[in-house]
Structure 1
Amino acid sequence: MRKTLRQFLLLAGLLTLYVQSFAQNPDKTITGTVRDTEGLSLPGASVQVKGTSLGTQTDANGKYALKVPATAKVLVFTFLGTNPKEVAIGTNTVINVTLTSANKTLDDVVVIGYGAIRRADVTTSISSINEKDIKNLPVSGVDQALQGKIAGITVSNNGGQPGGGVSVKVRGITSVNGTQPLYVVDGVPIMTSTNSIAQDQLGGKAGQSEQSVLSTLNPNDILSVDVLKDASAQAIYGSLGGNGVVLITTKKGRANEGKINYDVYFGAADVPNKLDIMNLRQYAQYYNSLIPEVAAASPGSQLPVIGELQNPDVLGEGTDWQSALFKNGYTQNHQLSFSGGAEKTNYFFSVNYFDQEGTIIGSGFDRLASRFALDHQVRPWLKAGITGNLSRSNQKIALTDGTETPTTIVLYNSPATPIKDANGNFITTSSLGANTFGQANSNPIATATLRDVRAIQNKAFGNIYAEIKFTDWLNLRNEANYDFQLGQNSAFQPNVVNQNTKQTILAPSRLREDRNNSHYWALRNYVNINKGFANKHWINFTLGHEAQASYYSGTWVSATDLNQNMPSINAGIVDPAATNSNVYEWAMESYFARGGYTYNDRYSISASYRRDGSSSFGPEKKWGSFAGVSAAWTVTNEEFAKNWKGIDYLKIRLGYGSVGNQNSPVQNAYSTNIRLFSIAPFGKGGVPANVGNPFLSWESVVTQNAGVDLTVLNKRLELSVDVYNKTTTDMILATTLPVFAGLDPNPPANAYKEIEPPVTNAGEMNNKGIDIGLTSYNIQRKDFSWKTNVVLSAYRNELVRLNSPNAILRGAEQDFTGSTSVVNITKAGHPVGTFYGYVTDGLFRDLSELNNGTNWGIAVGPTGLYLGDVRYKDISGPNGTPDGKIGSEDVTIIGDPNPDFTYGITNTLQYKNFDFSLFLQGVQGSQIFNWTRKYTESLSNAYLNQSTTVLNRYTSNNTTSDMPRFVNNWHSNNTRNSDRYIEDGSYLRIQNVSIGYNLPQKWANAFKATSARIYVSGQNLHTFTKYSGYDPEIGSFNKSVLTQNVDNGHYPTPRTFTIGANIQF
């Protein structure tokens, strides 16, 4: 009884204390006004109790009132375009806040590789963007989202294929072996391969098959992107940084900020425009007009009269092959993320599903990805964490960019041929009278529909770290990086025969299966020192060691004549010649250091050094050293500049550095590589794959950089300008030897599996350019703001030399007749990938021009070279001077795919709860070789469809036309590679328009959300260009810098409309 009484009295006492405490600390209401630095109120600003979902928004006058519990300690104030601010509540009931603009401040932190420093201490050329610049864009990879956003970066989509390859150049073309930069995600270099599969495994052409290296990374997980553009910044990455370094930082959780975010959008896409190809009515008019032309020129080879085409006016449109191939594509993206943390532990977890159907039959891309990040303060002196990115992507690849691909065949296939017969079965040809129309054994819609070519990637990468904090300014970080990837690629073609017509639609049945496994690991340990003292001196220092290695193995097998068209290797006959496997390994050890010093926020100097030892090179050249140094002077911090009017900030930067490239085919320093054959005349065996070169070394890239950072007009205008000179030496090139050497005479094509000649260091390349970035805060008012960002990049590329004075590198294409010719050429004294062909001199319009004594290479006459045919200039001969003969010596450089400059203009406006953005992106001065016109304007086969431009061709009644005459396969003079097909590739594109609305707080609260935004946007809305093809953004063929801007049935970039929402709980 006494025990029960004591418990009752204790409980009553505690209850009394609780009630008294509650009475002394009741809920209270805090009021106030939120303003900007100019004293203008900010409507719609968020006011939230830190660590809770309790919050409100300011009204139209910037005022707020928020009832908070007694346990509330801190209020967090946020507003779009400003820096967030935290204020302790204490005993205050009125809290007025001024938010500063989120302009780049000197205290911002910039990621520089193996660490971060204050922006005020940056001495190198680094450009950055944040999540707002890339969020909600309907793209599969962040590399596409960089286009037009960062000065010095040239980004081109290699086509509209979902998940397809993207060409990224940091300050021009660094090497003929490739330009792709090093991507580093949260300290993890993306080193594993992105293998895809080409359609030539099923017969015909390979087509565009590259996949974006970043397509497995969810763009919505990215917090910021920093690009190291000059060698003084890249030197810390040594031999991996020669093509530039892109540092990607992903999102993490913050203590006391528990959040749930759901981001979603849906989109619909189409092809913005189609080419003007003749419909059936126009084709009938065209065909009928050819009959008298051919008869006049060659009475013995008259075209037949086709009764069904005699009255064009009663005919319909016929088969629209383009409309049958192109379709509407659909996109959906869902992202759910959880982030937050407690006193010692922060967390972030996200899951993403992205699905994009292509605008061409048989193309698409989907990705399921998740990411997690966990950081824990184990002890006051020890912090540890782990990140992981898991993804599975499935890319379905369309056959494009080749003469025998559906994207080209639909342009010249006859409109008189239907896609299917009356029974709904595919057909290839049809007859009008005794005349056959269409392509035998080829129906482009059937090919696109029935083939199934896909690349599946399963990828996991991330890092584990432990950071020991010795003092506030000294810490040791230990990291382990991992990157695992499994690839599963397949290409399937059934055997299809129309049982009614007995036409072969696709044959033979074939299946190709690829399996590849790659993994990468790295162990990294480094010390960071970051300390200021005496209010004038600031030092930062990094010293570290790194070991890394990668492994790749691949196996592929093909089978034909599949039983019942079953997509299984066991169902067919295995092709021994198409069965193979390979294994590659690579390892590198490195030591690196970086030091920086700033005095009184005026003078800064930084130096980096790295020494790499790579297995790619022999014992004589295994180790290489790379270094950079840079300095900066902040002029406006000088005493003499204190009273400068109009100039708020001025910094001058200078930098010099050397980095490297390992763009060597695997293990070319050694002769121990063996190419094994599963079949041979005398049984199984093998031959050496190559002749090794133990003296093979790194490509070296040296850059000089000078830059200015300027802020004027009371911080309303920010300007950053950099000029640079970048020289690549010791480029890694295959040696071309005479045939009698017994080695491959045309490396690196290796068409017949000959022994490859040694690879050497021989070439030199130079890039000079300028980067300009401009930000203007045009209007910052009470309820309206307007900001403009402009970036401009220009470079001039020149190949100084190859491994011999007359050496050239070629890029070839094949036309619909089956002949292959060189279209791009890379030679000393010119830019990489210039166009190669004849120079035209109009058309022959007078017999005296034909009979002027020049040897045209073709007999003169109505069925030979005649009036209305293309005339070429006699430029050179065997002795280097005109020789009165048109031949191979007259082929010369006729164009340049490299642009004069690229640019992007972004306007961001906000009015109360509405936001609007307009992004314009453009290219000026690039040229395109429109290979498509070689068959849509061939004017050689009466049964092929043509562009409507041929309706205005040269005839005896139309002698002023610039379009050549019809030649009925008498010769191919008019379709030679020439400047006739070179077009201006300049364009200005409305790349993105977005309109959003932030829901009022009470609306968001109705579904338990702290904030919500809905938006609509349009991507690739319109392109202003003179180019006659689908799309002037061509890019490279499978990322090769040797074949750029050649339009041979390109996959057009789609136009996309999206609607979406960003919701936070």
Structure 2
Amino acid sequence: MSSRFLQKTRIVLTMLFVQQLCTAQGISFASQPTQRSAAQRSAAQRNAAQREESSAKNLKDLLVDLGKQHQVSILFEEETVKNITITGADFRQEGGKLEKQLTDLLRPFNLRFKKAGKEAYVIVSRFEKKASEAGIATIESATIAPTAAPESLSRTDIAVSKIAKENPAEETIKGRVTDERGDGLPGVNVVIKGSQRGVTTDIAGKYELTAAGPNDVLIFSFVGYLPKEEIVGNRSVVDISLSVDTKALEEVVVIGYGTAKKKDLTGAVAVVGRKEFGDVSATSAQQLLQGKIAGVQIVNTGGLPGSNAKIIIRGVGSLTNSDPLYVIDGIQGGDINSVSPYDIQDITVLKDAASVAIYGASAANGVVLITTKKGKAGTPKVTYNGYVGVAQAWKKLDMLDAAQYVQLVKDIDAVQGNKVPDKLNTPDVLVTRTDWQKEIFRNGKITEHHVNVTGGSDKATYNFSAGYTNQEGIMRDYGYQRINLRTQLEEQIGKRIRLGQTINFKYNRTTGNAASFVEALRMPPYAPTMDPANLGGYSKVTTIIDQNDALNPLPGIYLTEKLGRGVSNLFQLWGEVDIINGLKFRTQANIGLSNGNSYNYTGEYLNGNTKIDRKIEESYSFSVSPIIENILSYTKTIGRHDFSLMAGNTYNEGTRSRSVNMTGSGFTNDLIKQIGVSKSNSITGTGSSIYASRSYFGRLTYAFHDRYLVNASIRQDINPAFGKAYRKGNFPSVGVAWKVANEDFMKNISFISDLKLRGSWGITGNANIGLFLTDPTVYRGYGNNNIVYSFGENKAFQQGATVTRVPNPFLKWEETTQIDFGVDFGLLQNRLQVSLDYYKRDSKDLLLDVKLPVSTGLGDVYNDASMVQNAANAVNKGFEAALSYAGQAGDFSYSISANTGYNKNNVVSLGNGAPIVSGSTNGGINITKTDVGAAIGSFYGYKVDQVVSSAADVARYNEQAVAKGFASYQDGLKAGDIVYQDLNGDGRITDADQSFLGSAIPVWTYGGSVNLSYKAFDLSMGLAGISDVKVYNALRYWTEGTTRPFNSSTAVLNAWKKDGDITDMPRSGQNTPSNLRASDRFLENGSFMRLRNLTLGFSVPKTILNSTGGKVFSSFRIYATAMNLLTLTKYKGYDPEVSASVNDAKSFIFTKGVDTGQYPQPRTFLVGLQVGF
């Protein structure tokens, strides 16, 4: 066959491809005729049937006529049809199927046709099959702009080309992708090489896409299998089988500054990916980890919408900050709350020193690596995730009704000798008018929408996502809104260069003021919510009229305007180049920008006897955080030896920030709410910070014979927060592992699929200590008089300034030395996988504020001077266990996982520092103490013995004390009071009888999940819990304290009333401190198990999707979810999941577990939709 014919064929079919591509993109041409209607085509066929065919015609003319008649392109070589004539007797050109006509027409001349598209045919010789098809297969698939017909084409060729434009030679390619056993593989990416066209296989492994020509190459790729390329050629069905990639099956996980095969890890690393996330609805990244990883506790800092959660890894190892380092797509110090959960591909938690030491000074509390979703080659794929739902309080406290409350007030007055107010002797107060808990709680609506678009070619990929969250709180008038935008691009330039960029934007807004639980619980139940006679229109109670000065919580909700706004932007640019095989260089620059604004307007109203004036408080802040990193890595295999080397450096500008706080008061009305128009305004505070650090790091990984592994790393950090001579910190680590399963002696033990022993040692640091600790703090007093000093016997205050914190030029790094021993094994072809770890974290040189002697002459009238010193040591040690099992039986598949962690925290030394007393409760009592021999922030106080039943019992206690030389056993003790245990046995209750009562750091953490699917249905549930933990219920100070006539819990109905009463509730109205000392009276068991998530979903089968809606949807799933549906606990408060009374990083450590009225976690019900297009 001549080359000229092949050239013509290439041109025509290329034009067919171009026209189809342009049509798909919505491009039209003025010269392109419209397609004939069915009526026109029928008329043409009738006219052709009536035509006289008794005269002879040549084959060429007949083929052209057939092409026009059927509106198709028929291509042929002149030499092939030359000198072939046909009479009417040989062939009748009448209506009928084209392919039958062609077959009848060509068979006598040893010719045949080949379909080259939906409406294109090529005439070839039966004896030139290979040559003809080879000619067609050489057509390039490059995109060429339409031009005038080449001069080399004859008039017939031009006519054929014109028809070809109307009928592109594209062909639908179908097929099925299977594994080595012949089972269909769902989710395989099928992409046309060099284009953005692509699809994924359905649940049966089937696919269908349109190819431009026989020279197209299909690329099949799937995680865990070797990629494969197939030339389309003359096939319309391309079935392939993918082979298992034994290397890919060895799961690759993200580690510090790189990736590694999971089987080659020498440290304690846990990965939670999309498979483990399942289809759980979550509003934060931390929620995705709840109950998923052994030794990791997720502490929710409250149920307020938008509130953050803390991640604690293997206990608390510092007195300043327990937060881990967050790394998002390689960016250190990223804001984990800036990433939408829907954008996260997987989360890796590094727990031991061998894994975290590469991050040095920032890794003492562990490292959390977040990898976001990347673009995938293929046609644009759009997915939508959204849900609507409602959140509600799952528990209310049992409080007294009006009649019970009035009787309580009278009982208290009787004990304290007070006159009962006249109002309380009227029947009007016996009516319960208000359920104050109901007034502050509500059912809050929740809405979330998230759209993701991904696509690209083998040269460039993109991923774009946008999300919107609107969440009402379960407390009235409180709400949270968030907008997330994320763009990620990656480009391959040649074979050796890769470039990428990521832009992440987050806007969040909070509105409303959370009501006070304490005030709501203390309000009299007979009081109405509103009183038009009062300024502001809300009711009030007073001490004189009601003997209750609780504050109505509703004005704080409805007469204030509280608004918080925050914007954060993260920009990342990176580039990689493969210098030579195995040698790669990467550089990346990241910059984070954030600004915030808070606005709080308080209207004018009367609350109790206090007039609240109009006031505005406003603040602004801005920060910028740039980081530049360079990494050089090299991998090499020599025989049985595998080497990997990595070296790099980081320049971190830290966070440069500025802030200003302003206030204004004296507004004449509520119309203009600007500080500038207030009668009195001022700047109440400003702040700024700036620092920079440098780091150098390296790592060596060696493996011999895929059996023996060594991983060693070193990092040096330079940080100006420490003394000049101590700014450099060196942090080494080493990890080793033995793959026992790969040994020859294990080959005959078939039920053991995998077995690896590992151990690690390393040192990490803690740089999250705050700034300016090496600088002095100067105090100049409060008020205009700057009162600081007191002199003489009368201690008269004098003006001046003094140093309250003395600088320490010898301040150095906190260091944590950690050892870890672990074993990983798999059974039954790895369907059952188990991981066990033992660890010990020894944290030393912890920073502590050490008080200085009064003789220094420093300090103020309130506090002694102090110096921050490396004084304390603490130890965490424990073990972890995690197991998972997955299986399938026909259409039913399941996976089950469970984990648990045991951790014991202990303070070893405080150096010269005094114990840290903290944890202030609602009554102003400090309930926690950090001292040697107990856990950090342990509860400390007296142990309750009993409620004294009678005056005779009091006398007996006092007689024992007198016998030992004391005047009384316990100061102020009367019948009906609590008596405490005499722990030192000296016969009297003193400070020496206080002891450690327990810890808010749980000894046990655990979690589990179950995922089931049957055909189109799926069911998943997730559990999480803690045990051997204490919570101090400070709300009970008000609801059971009864020293003042506030409304109280129904528990006070069992209070002691007369001699002989046996109860654990002391008398009401007692006026001694006995019953309210720091003790275990309000200390409760904080253990709980919570059903975090229960989801039932239904996915519309692919067969239905393909047969309806014009194949618009690639997936369609609806689901219903219940969050926090069930909580098993003995805790009496609103919620056992208590974080802290103060939530800054340092105070959190010492007040964790003190419940002063924390916003509870809501119970949430959702209905959602997940759609793929």
Name the TM tier (shorter chain). 0.7 to 0.9
CA distance in 1, matches of 2:246, 2:905: 34
> 1:479 deviation in Å?
1.1
- Aligned 1:783-822 pairs, distance under 5 A: 783-804=891-912, 807-815=914-922, 820-822=924-926
Partner of residue 251, structure 2: 108
For residues 864-898 of structure 1, give each alpha carbon's deviation from its aligned partner in whole angstroms, at most 9, with x where no partner exists.
Answer: 6322211112234xxxxx43332333222222212
For residues 118-169 of structure 1, give each alpha carbon's deviation from its aligned partner in whole angstroms, at most 9, with x where no partner exists.
Answer: 2222111111111344476554321233221122211110110112132211
Larger RCO: 1 or 2 (CA < 8 Å, sep 6+)? 1
Q: Which moved more, 1:790-799 or 1:626-635?
A: 790-799
| Contact 1:40–1:782 (Cα < 8 Å) also in 2 | no
| Contact 1:834–1:893 (Cα < 8 Å) also in 2 | yes
Structure 2 length normalisation: TM-score?
Answer: 0.79
**1:893 equivalenced with 2:1001 (yes/no):** no
CA distance in 1, matches of 2:165, 2:149: 24
2:528 to 410, 418, 423: 418
1:869 to 974, 977, 980: 977
1:226 to 331, 348, 371: 348
CA distance in 1, matches of 2:407, 2:247: 64
| Contact 2:280–2:1095 (Cα < 8 Å) also in 1 | no
1:990 to 1088, 1091, 1099: 1091
> 1:282 deviation in Å?
3.9
1:267 to 389, 392, 395: 389
| Partner SS for 2:905 | strand
Aligned CA distance change for structure 1 residues 302 and 957 (closer, same or farther; 3 Å)? farther
Aligned CA distance change for structure 1 residues 410 and 99 (closer, same or farther; 3 Å)? farther
Aligned CA distance change for structure 1 residues 895 and 74 (closer, same or farther; 3 Å)? same
Aligned CA distance change for structure 1 residues 301 and 255 (closer, same or farther; 3 Å)? closer
For residues 33-52 of structure 1, give each alpha carbon's deviation from its aligned partner in whole angstroms, at most 9, with x where no partner exists.
Answer: 85796x7778x878966654
For residues 282-319 of structure 1, give each alpha carbon's deviation from its aligned partner in whole angstroms, at most 9, with x where no partner exists.
Answer: 435655xx55x965x67x5464686766699xx65421
Counterpart of 1:571 in structure 2: which amino acid?
V
Partner of residue 919, structure 1: 1022
Counterpart of 1:623 in structure 2: which amino acid?
K
CA distance in 2, matches of 1:862, 1:525: 68
For residues 43-86 of structure 1, give each alpha carbon's deviation from its aligned partner in whole angstroms, at most 9, with x where no partner exists.
Answer: x878966654667745xxx48585754646437588xx997976
Partner of residue 772, structure 1: 881
CA distance in 2, matches of 1:33, 1:113: 36
Partner of residue 518, structure 1: 623
CA distance in 2, matches of 1:639, 1:579: 74
Partner of residue 341, structure 1: 456
For residues 205-264 of structure 1, give each alpha carbon's deviation from its aligned partner in whole angstroms, at most 9, with x where no partner exists.
Answer: xxxxxxxx5332212111111111111111111101111111111111122353122221
| Contact 1:913–1:997 (Cα < 8 Å) also in 2 | yes
Partner of residue 1045, structure 1: 1153
Aligned CA distance change for structure 1 residues 307 and 261 (closer, same or farther; 3 Å)? closer
1:663 to 744, 751, 768: 768
Partner of residue 309, structure 2: 166
Aligned CA distance change for structure 1 residues 409 and 616 (closer, same or farther; 3 Å)? same
Partner of residue 197, structure 1: none
1:974 to 1075, 1081, 1088: 1075
Counterpart of 2:978 in structure 1: which amino acid?
V
CA distance in 1, matches of 2:692, 2:626: 10
> 1:11 deviation in Å?
7.0
**1:455 equivalenced with 2:556 (yes/no):** no
| Partner SS for 2:901 | strand
More helix per residue: 1 or 2?
2
| Partner SS for 2:250 | coil
| Contact 1:522–1:549 (Cα < 8 Å) also in 2 | yes
Counterpart of 2:368 in structure 1: which amino acid?
V
| Contact 1:455–1:488 (Cα < 8 Å) also in 2 | yes
**1:639 equivalenced with 2:744 (yes/no):** yes
Partner of residue 1031, structure 1: 1135
| Partner SS for 2:439 | helix
| Contact 1:325–1:361 (Cα < 8 Å) also in 2 | yes
Counterpart of 1:590 in structure 2: which amino acid?
S
| Contact 2:804–2:859 (Cα < 8 Å) also in 1 | no
- Aligned 1:18-167 pairs, distance under 5 A: 27=171, 30=174, 32=176, 51-52=196-197, 57=202, 62=204, 66=208, 69=211, 71=213, 73-74=217-218, 88=230, 90=232, 106-134=249-277, 137-167=280-310
Structure 1 length normalisation: TM-score?
Answer: 0.86
Counterpart of 1:971 in structure 2: which amino acid?
T
Aligned CA distance change for structure 1 residues 948 and 83 (closer, same or farther; 3 Å)? farther
Partner of residue 691, structure 1: 806
Counterpart of 1:1030 in structure 2: which amino acid?
Y
> 1:496 deviation in Å?
1.5
Partner of residue 858, structure 2: 743
> 1:766 deviation in Å?
0.3
**1:473 equivalenced with 2:582 (yes/no):** yes
CA distance in 1, matches of 2:262, 2:527: 65
CA distance in 1, matches of 2:924, 2:807: 31
CA distance in 1, matches of 2:1052, 2:387: 44
| Partner SS for 1:564 | coil
Counterpart of 1:829 in structure 2: which amino acid?
G
**1:571 equivalenced with 2:681 (yes/no):** no
1:254 to 373, 376, 380: 376
Counterpart of 2:928 in structure 1: which amino acid?
N
1:383 to 498, 519, 528: 498
Aligned CA distance change for structure 1 residues 554 and 473 (closer, same or farther; 3 Å)? same
| Contact 2:969–2:988 (Cα < 8 Å) also in 1 | no
Structure 1 unaligned spans of 5+: 192-212, 400-404, 746-750, 877-881
| Contact 2:542–2:549 (Cα < 8 Å) also in 1 | no
Partner of residue 1055, structure 2: 953
CA distance in 2, matches of 1:898, 1:592: 34
Q: Which has the larger radius of gyration?
A: 2
Partner of residue 1059, structure 1: 1167
**1:553 equivalenced with 2:670 (yes/no):** no
> 1:937 deviation in Å?
0.9
Partner of residue 439, structure 1: 549
State the superposition RMSD in angstroms.
Answer: 3.6
CA distance in 2, matches of 1:582, 1:609: 36
Structure 2 unaligned spans of 5+: 1-146, 788-798
| Partner SS for 1:415 | coil
Counterpart of 2:754 in structure 1: which amino acid?
Y
Aligned CA distance change for structure 1 residues 397 and 811 (closer, same or farther; 3 Å)? farther
Aligned CA distance change for structure 1 residues 101 and 762 (closer, same or farther; 3 Å)? farther
Partner of residue 402, structure 1: none
| Contact 2:575–2:586 (Cα < 8 Å) also in 1 | yes
CA distance in 2, matches of 1:348, 1:908: 28
Number of equivalent positions: 996
Partner of residue 908, structure 1: 1011
| Contact 2:692–2:719 (Cα < 8 Å) also in 1 | yes
- Aligned 1:191-210 pairs, distance under 5 A: none
1:587 to 685, 692, 701: 692
| Contact 1:34–1:45 (Cα < 8 Å) also in 2 | no
Partner of residue 236, structure 1: 358
**1:720 equivalenced with 2:835 (yes/no):** yes
Counterpart of 1:892 in structure 2: which amino acid?
S
CA distance in 2, matches of 1:231, 1:113: 12
Partner of residue 823, structure 1: 927
Aligned CA distance change for structure 1 residues 1045 and 98 (closer, same or farther; 3 Å)? farther
Partner of residue 614, structure 2: 509
- Aligned 1:598-613 pairs, distance under 5 A: 598-613=703-718
> 1:757 deviation in Å?
3.0
| Partner SS for 1:519 | strand
| Contact 1:428–1:439 (Cα < 8 Å) also in 2 | no
| Contact 1:562–1:568 (Cα < 8 Å) also in 2 | no
| Contact 1:183–1:248 (Cα < 8 Å) also in 2 | yes
| Contact 1:930–1:1029 (Cα < 8 Å) also in 2 | yes
Identity of aligned residues (%): 29
CA distance in 2, matches of 1:1044, 1:166: 13
| Contact 2:507–2:565 (Cα < 8 Å) also in 1 | yes
For residues 890-943 of structure 1, give each alpha carbon's deviation from its aligned partner in whole angstroms, at most 9, with x where no partner exists.
Answer: 2222222121211111000111111110111111111111111111111333x4
CA distance in 1, matches of 2:775, 2:160: 86
